[in-house]
């Protein structure tokens, strides 16, 4: 006797413990297997791109804190790079190095969240997460020293950074960099070879390299699929061409590889920071710029390797004090488009882990 069955649609989010914000997915289930996924975004839409057209180029910098609020420094950096390209100015050497230092600190801080959340989604009941947050706190303390804010840093300026780091920053940063490898060793020992994490993440959410490139994903997801693409190497900005570091790639493109890539990148961030803290020259940290610069008419696209992938800002100027068009190529949003390819055929429990491995920030997805 054939049983009459009908698809079981589960609405996950926008209020759900594991959608990392207000993401919503409608999962069509066959038992525990996902047969279809329908992604709904836009619950955090704040119309930033339109708002930015009403504000001066400098006033738009705080917006970039609030797109990717887990990695504000890189958001700042990507935007000011675009405006600098429009204006045709080059920030001083010390500012370039400060940008590298802040970006890498931010990458480490952001990856602690990503790795912690991944363990959390695997059901580790917050323990790795809380340990990761402990390291992140110290980095946020450094940010507070440098710019007075912990999350919404608003540190980068068109033509440099807002102010020089205080004298106590360097000893604190050196102490932190000396401590982090030890902590990383602890976490790698606890998480990387955990049998349950291995069973939960191996072969889950596989994104083959060709599909990853076709979906235009970037960042740890692309590298997890085995494509060695890193804008810090491919299109160096700030002082990244002067530091030495490795691109970390996975082999299978599954959730575990993305996790591995993030952990390895945290190591590389420490490596870059070690060099940058030694190589940073003295000197001015910003070029003199008017409060409301009026870049010449034209357009510019800047891209950086944010912790989540290629973060691009497309800014068009009509010669006025405000951008004519302001567009954010947010890695979270574009990486999310590959989500349905990864999740169909997996189970509900996997969907959560895969979403965690994409490491979206809803502020950046919805803007």
Partner 1 sequence: MPFDPSTGSGLRTGPFLAEWYDLRDLGNAVGAFLDWIRDQGAPDWVPYVVSGLIGVVAILLWVILSQLAFIWIERRVIGRMQARIGPNRVGPQGLLQPIADTIKLFLKEAITSRKADRALFWVGPVLIFLPALAVLAVIPFGRGMFLTDLNVGVLFVIAVASVNTVAVFVAGWASNNKFALLGAMRTVAMLISYELIQVLALLGVVVFAGSMRMGAVVDWQSDFNVWVLFLQPLAFISFIIASAVEIGRSPMDISEAESEIVAGYHTEYSGIKFGFFYAAEYIAAFAVCGIIVTLYLGGWTAWGLEQWVPGWLLFLGKLYLTFFLFIWTRGTLPRLRIDQLMAFAWKFLLPLALLNVVVTGAEVLIWREADLSAGVALPIFGVVNAGLAVALILGWATFMGHLRPERRAKRAVLTQELGAIYYTPPTGTDEAVRTGEA
Across 63-216, where does the E strand assignment appear?
A: 156-157, 160-161
Q: Which stretch binds partner 1 (CB under 8 A): 148-156, 159-167, 187-195, 285-293?
A: 187-195
- Site for partner 1 contains 48 (CB under 8 A): no
The distance of Cα 174 from the centroid of its chain, to the nearest Å, equals 24
Helix (H, G, I), strand (E, B) or coil at 172: helix
113 within 8 A of 72, measured Cβ to Cβ: no
| Closest to 361 in 3D by CA, of 147, 81, 68 | 68
- The footprint of partner 1 on this chain (CB under 8 A) covers a number of residues equal to 53
Q: Does 270 bind partner 1 (CB under 8 A)?
A: no
Q: Binder to partner 1 among 82, 212, 238, 248 (CB under 8 A)?
A: 248
**Binding to partner 1, residues 8-37 (CB under 8 A):** 8-11, 16-18, 32
Task: Give the residue with the Cβ less far from partner 1, 104 or 121.
Answer: 121
Nearer to partner 1, 67 or 218 (CB): 218
Shortest Å distance, C-beta 180 to partner 1: 15
Q: Which listed range, 7-15, 78-86, 273-281, 288-296, lies at the site for partner 1 (CB under 8 A)?
A: 7-15
344 touching partner 1, by CB under 8 A? no
**Contact, 237 vs 304, CB < 8 A?**
yes
Tell me the DSSP string of 270-297: HHHHHHHHHHPPPS-SB----SS--PPS
Nearer to partner 1, 172 or 190 (CB): 190
| Contacts with 73 (C-beta within 8 Å, 6 or more apart), sequence order | 102, 103, 105, 106, 143, 153, 155, 156
Residue from the set 45, 50, 54, 125 that interacts with partner 1 by CB under 8 A: 125
Helix (H, G, I), strand (E, B) or coil at 241: helix
The minimum distance between CB 264 and partner 1, in angstroms, equals 4
Rule CB under 8 A: choose which of 109, 115, 352, 354 binds partner 1.
352
Confirm if 353 and 200 have CB atoms less than 8 A apart.
yes
Contact 141, 131 (CB under 8 A): no
Regarding 134 and contact with partner 1 (CB under 8 A), the answer is yes
Element (H, E) at 310: strand 309-317
Take residue 283 and report the two structure tokens written for it: 């000197």
Q: Is 233 in the site for partner 1 (CB under 8 A)?
A: yes
Per CB under 8 A, contacts with partner 1 among 188-217 are: 192-194, 196-200, 202
Of 92-121, binders to partner 1 (CB under 8 A) are 119-121
> What one-character DSSP code corresponds to residue 88?
T
Residue of 37, 86, 260, 343 that binds partner 1 (CB under 8 A): 260
Q: Does 68 bind partner 1 (CB under 8 A)?
A: no
**Residue 123 in contact with partner 1, rule: CB under 8 A:** yes
The reply to whether 184 sits near partner 1 by the rule CB under 8 A is: no
Q: Is 246 in the site for partner 1 (CB under 8 A)?
A: yes
Q: Name the burial class of residue 44, with classes exposed (0-12), middle (13-18) and buried (19+) by CB atoms within 10 angstroms of its CB.
A: middle
Neighbouring C-beta atoms of residue 123, cutoff 10 Å: 12
CB of 256 to partner 1, least distance (A): 9
172 binds partner 1 (CB under 8 A): no
Tell me the C-alpha distance between 307 and 21, whole Å.
Answer: 18
Q: Which is nearer to partner 1, 4 or 282 (CB)?
A: 4
Which CB atom, from 217 or from 249, has the smaller least distance to partner 1? 249
How far is residue 260's CA from residue 223's CA, in Å, rounded to a whole number? 10
Nearest C-alpha neighbor of 164 from the set 178, 145, 182: 145
Minimum separation from the CB atom of position 271 to partner 1 (A)? 10
Give 159 or 356: the residue with its C-beta nearer to partner 1. Answer: 356
Question: Which parts of this chain interact with partner 1 (CB under 8 A)?
Answer: 8-11, 16-18, 32, 119-127, 129-131, 134, 192-194, 196-200, 202, 228, 233-235, 244-251, 257, 260-261, 263-264, 347-352
């Amino acid at each position: 006797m054939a049983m009459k069955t009908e698809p079981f649609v589960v609405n996950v989010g926008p209020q759900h413990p594991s959608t990392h914000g207000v993401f919503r997915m409608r999962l069509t289930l066959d038992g525990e297997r996902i047969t279809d996924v329908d992604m709904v975004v836009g619950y955090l839409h704040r119309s930033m791109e339109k708002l930015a057209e009403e504000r001066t180029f400098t006033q738009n910098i705080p917006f970039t804190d609030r797109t990717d609020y887990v990695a504000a420094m890189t958001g700042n950096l990507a935007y000011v790079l675009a405006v600098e390209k429009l204006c045709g100015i080059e920030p001083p050497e010390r500012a370039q190095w400060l940008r590298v230092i802040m970006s890498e600190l931010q990458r480490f801080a952001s990856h602690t969240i990503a790795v912690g959340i991944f363990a959390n989604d695997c059901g580790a009941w917050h323990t790795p997460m809380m340990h990761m947050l402990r390291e992140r706190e110290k980095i946020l303390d450094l940010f507070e020293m440098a710019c007075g804010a912990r999350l919404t840093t608003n540190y980068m300026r068109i033509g440099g950074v807002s102010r020089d780091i205080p004298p106590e920053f360097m000893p604190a940063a050196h102490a932190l960099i000396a401590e982090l490898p030890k902590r990383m060793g602890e976490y790698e020992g606890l998480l990387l070879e955990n049998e349950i994490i291995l069973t939960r993440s191996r072969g889950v959410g596989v994104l083959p390299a060709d599909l990853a490139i076709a979906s235009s994903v970037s960042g740890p997801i692309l590298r997890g699929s085995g494509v060695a693409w890193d804008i810090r190497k491919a299109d160096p900005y700030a002082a990244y061409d002067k530091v030495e570091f490795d691109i970390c790639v996975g082999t299978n493109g599954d959730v575990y590889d993305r996790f591995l890539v993030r952990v390895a990148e945290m190591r590389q961030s420490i490596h870059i920071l070690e060099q940058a803290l030694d190589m940073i020259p003295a000197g001015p940290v910003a070029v003199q710029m008017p409060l409301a610069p009026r870049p010449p008419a034209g357009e510019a696209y800047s891209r950086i390797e944010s912790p989540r992938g290629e973060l691009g800002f497309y800014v068009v100027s009509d010669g006025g004090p405000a951008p004519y068009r302001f567009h954010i190529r947010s890695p979270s949003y574009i990486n999310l488009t590959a989500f349905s390819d990864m999740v169909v055929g997996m189970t509900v429990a996997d969907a959560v882990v895969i979403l965690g491995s994409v490491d979206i920030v809803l502020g950046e997805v919805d803007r």
